[in-house]
């Protein structure tokens, strides 16, 4: 849903045709091809992870099918020194940031070692509670401002999560402190089974920042060029001391909320069919083809390479040693309370001594 008072950005329409004047970076073949490759890797990984869950090799998985342009676009706009505060659906963005596929698989399997990613060391782990990461992002952004650093915090939330009090409180502090933080709303139209029109009466979610002095805008979340451009400009502004921004990306969820969900129970099949026509991959591939930058052989070669990369990651994940059972106690407190010390001892007694990997 758009509103004439809220800026809206789109460059690539569903059929791959160009709207208006493209930004300069759209002529950078290496950059645009990298965006396309990241999007394809995200989708191929998504497909593999869902298949692993269906065959009992992962306990659950939150797909990002249809939302690749959002994740890849904003993550590619960030610098290495910026800090990401992701949600549980931001795996594709984390891949762009340098998180390894096997690390994402470890985390999805319930192994917290997957959050100890080697790159980027300062990014936060995926937030499972809804909206708490937005407050964390503002706190970190304010700390960076006080230290005179030029880094920017970037945090994402779903359309449903934007109704949480944490989100409003975080934006309020960001506005007061003029903190260098970017709030990104991934508006795919559903908060699990609750549609957008039953979540908020606001004409747009972007205007939710008005009351707290955080400027908002919308972007076509299926257009990776638009997402990259809008987020790049917002980050540059925040880095130069111009404060926070709120960006609502309008996209579609082309599958279930998670592998524990069945969206066919609440979503109209005809609507989903129409949304598939607007998905982000086809429009970008068409643009690349029209530019003379991409062809059938390029596509086949890339997909083969990506599938091989994903299979290697799966093999490494499944060959990894199981975590120690007592590890669940070891990183919660600086000094473990007495009752948890007793429980930890019971776990060690039941599952083996520390250090044996059992």
Residue at 189 is within a domain: yes
Q: What is the pLDDT of residue 3?
A: 54
Which tokens go with 47?
A: 């497909």
pLDDT tens-digit map of 157-190: 999 999 999 999 999 999 999 999 999 999 999 9
Classify residue 1: in a domain, yes or no: no
pLDDT for position 15: 95
Please indicate, yes or no, whether residues 294 and 211 belong to a single structural domain of this protein: yes
208-221: pLDDT as tens digits: 999 999 999 999 99
Q: Does any domain span residue 190?
A: yes
End-to-end Cα distance, the chain: 52
* Residue 243 Rama label (left phi>0; alpha psi -120 to 50; beta): left
- The residues that are catalytic are 253, 257, 266
Q: Are residues 126 and 271 in the same domain?
A: yes
Map tokens 């908002």 to a residue.
216
Place of tokens 């493209």: 22
Q: What is the pTM of this model?
A: 0.94
Residue 4 is predicted with a pLDDT of 61
- The Cα–Cα gap between 325 and 320 comes to 15
**Helices assigned H by DSSP within the chain:** 29-54, 68-77, 91-97, 101-108, 132-146, 165-177, 224-239, 269-276, 280-290, 296-319, 338-351
Is there a single domain that holds both residue 308 and residue 341?
Answer: no
208 with 250, same domain: the answer is yes
Check whether residue 341 and residue 271 sit in a common domain: no
Residue 3, in any domain of the structure: no
Q: Do residues 268 and 352 both lie within one domain?
A: no
Q: Is the domain of 216 the same as that of 336? A: no
Residue 118 contacts by C-beta under 8 Å, 6 or more apart in sequence? 98, 100, 103
**Residue range 6-23: average pLDDT?**
96
Nearest Cα residue to 59 out of 127, 111, 3, 102: 111
Q: Report d(CA 350, CA 320) in Å as an integer.
A: 22
Same domain, 347 and 274: no
Task: Kindly tell me if the per-residue pLDDT of 353 is higher than 90.
Answer: no
Residue 2 lies in a domain: no
Q: pLDDT value at position 294?
A: 98
Q: What is the count of structural domains for the chain?
A: 2
Residues 342 and 216 in one domain: no
The Cα 7–Cα 69 span in angstroms is 19
Full domain range(s) for residue 152: 8-320
Token pair of 160 as six digits: 């449903």
Which band of pLDDT confidence, cut at 50, 70 and 90, is reported for residue 358?
very low
CA gap 13, 171 in Å, rounded: 31
Q: What is the DSSP string of 109-176?
A: TT-GGGGS-SSSTTSPPPB-SSSHHHHHHHHHHHHHHHTT----EEEEEETTGGGSHHHHHHHHHHHH
Residue 27 located in a structural domain: yes
163-167, 244-248, 300-304, 319-323: lowest mean pLDDT where? Answer: 319-323
The reply to whether 176 falls in a domain is: yes
- What CATH number does residue 296 fall under? 3.40.50.970
Tens digit of each residue's pLDDT (9 = 90 or more) over 73-121: 999 999 999 999 999 999 999 999 999 999 999 999 999 899 999 999 9
Tokens of 117: 């990613």
Say yes or no: 258 and 335 in one domain.
no
Q: Is 235 exposed, middle or buried (0-12, 13-18, 19+ CB in 10 A)?
A: buried
Give φ, ψ of 156 to 5 degrees: -120, 160
40-54, 266-280, 317-331: range with lowest mean pLDDT = 317-331
The Cα 8–Cα 6 span in angstroms is 6
Name residues whose C-beta falls within 8 Å of residue 310's C-beta, 6 or more positions apart in sequence. 41, 44, 45, 48, 101
Are residues 242 and 276 part of one domain?
yes
pLDDT at position 357 is: 39
The sign of the CA dihedral 289, 293, 296, 302 is negative
The answer to whether the beta carbons of residues 18 and 287 sit under 8 Å apart is yes
Q: Do 239 and 163 share a structural domain?
A: yes
């Amino acid at each position: 849903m758009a509103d004439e008072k809220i800026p809206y950005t789109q460059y690539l329409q569903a059929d791959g045709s160009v709207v208006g004047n493209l930004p300069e970076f759209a002529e950078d073949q290496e950059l645009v091809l990298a965006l396309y490759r990241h999007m394809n890797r995200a989708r191929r990984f998504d497909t593999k992870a869902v298949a692993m869950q269906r065959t009992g090799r992962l306990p659950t998985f939150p797909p990002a099918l249809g939302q690749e342009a959002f994740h890849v676009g904003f993550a590619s706009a960030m610098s290495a020194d910026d800090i990401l505060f992701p949600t549980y659906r931001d795996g594709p963005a984390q891949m762009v940031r340098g998180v390894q596929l096997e690390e994402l698989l470890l985390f999805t399997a319930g192994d917290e070692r997957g959050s100890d990613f080697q790159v980027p060391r300062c990014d936060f782990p995926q937030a499972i509670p809804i909206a708490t990461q937005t407050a964390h992002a503002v706190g970190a952004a304010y700390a960076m401002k006080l230290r005179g650093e030029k880094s920017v915090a970037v945090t994402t939330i779903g359309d449903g999560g934007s109704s949480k009090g944490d989100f409003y409180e975080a934006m309020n502090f960001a506005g007061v402190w003029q903190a260098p933080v970017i709030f990104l709303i991934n508006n795919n139209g559903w908060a699990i089974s609750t549609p957008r029109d039953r979540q908020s009466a606001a004409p747009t979610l972007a205007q939710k920042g008005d009351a707290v002095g955080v400027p908002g805008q919308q972007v076509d979340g299926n257009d990776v060029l638009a997402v990259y451009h809008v987020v790049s400009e917002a980050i540059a502004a925040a880095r130069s001391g111009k404060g926070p921004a709120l960006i609502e990306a309008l996209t579609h969820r082309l599958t279930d909320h998670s592998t524990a969900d069945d969206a066919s129970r609440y979503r109209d099949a005809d609507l989903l069919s129409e949304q598939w026509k607007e998905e982000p991959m086809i429009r970008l591939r068409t643009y690349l083809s029209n530019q003379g930058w991409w062809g059938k052989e390029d596509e086949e070669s890339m997909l083969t390479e990506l599938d091989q990369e994903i299979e290697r990651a799966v093999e490494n994940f499944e060959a990894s040693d199981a975590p120690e059972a007592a590890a669940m106690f070891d990183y919660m407190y600086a000094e473990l309370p007495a009752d948890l010390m007793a429980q930890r001892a019971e776990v060690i007694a039941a599952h083996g001594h520390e250090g044996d990997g059992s």
